Homo-oligomer: A and B are copies of this chain.
Amino acid sequence: MVQQEVLDRTFAALADATRRQILIRLGRGPASIGELAEPFGMSLTGMKKHVHVLENAGLVTTEKVGRSRQCRLGTERLEDAMSWIRFYQRLWERRLDGLDAYFTLTKEDDR
């Protein structure tokens, strides 16, 4: 399975509405810290922290260009998160699909 710490950081990064909005905004193209901060009425420092969390999770990459910092979407990390959820769902669906088997199988620890 994927590194647990990577999943930790990825899911934690996604667990904030502001950061999810940032990702959606970056889906429309790169932006600077200031451009990202403006619609939220947030300080540059505050926004930089969010970007840092996203960058740490590999969901965003940034690059200093002149005196501004361009932020872009990262690539593969959402795939990791999704594939974990899919794995888990397979577990869960298997349980539902075989409810009969489930009831007989777990009779002893189900009580």
A-side interface residues toward B, CB under 8 Å? Answer: 4-5, 7-12, 14-17, 20, 23-24, 27-31, 35, 73, 78, 81-82, 84-86, 88-89, 91-92, 94-95, 102, 105-106, 109-110
Contacts and interface: CB of A to CB of B under 8 A. Distances in A.
A27 B95 CA distance: 7
Top 4 nearest A-B pairs by Cβ distance?
A27-B91, A11-B15, A29-B106, A12-B15
Assembly stoichiometry (copies): 2
Given A7-B17, A15-B15, A31 B85 contact: no
A84 B29 contact: no
Given A20-B84, A30-B109, 12 more contacts: A4-B20, A7-B14, A11-B14, A14-B15, A15-B15, A28-B106, A29-B102, A29-B105, A29-B109, A29-B110, A73-B95, A81-B85
Given A20-B7, A29-B109, A102-B29, A85 B95 contact: no
A97 B105 CA distance: 47
Centre residue among A15, A30, A31, A81 by max chain B CB count within 10 A = A15
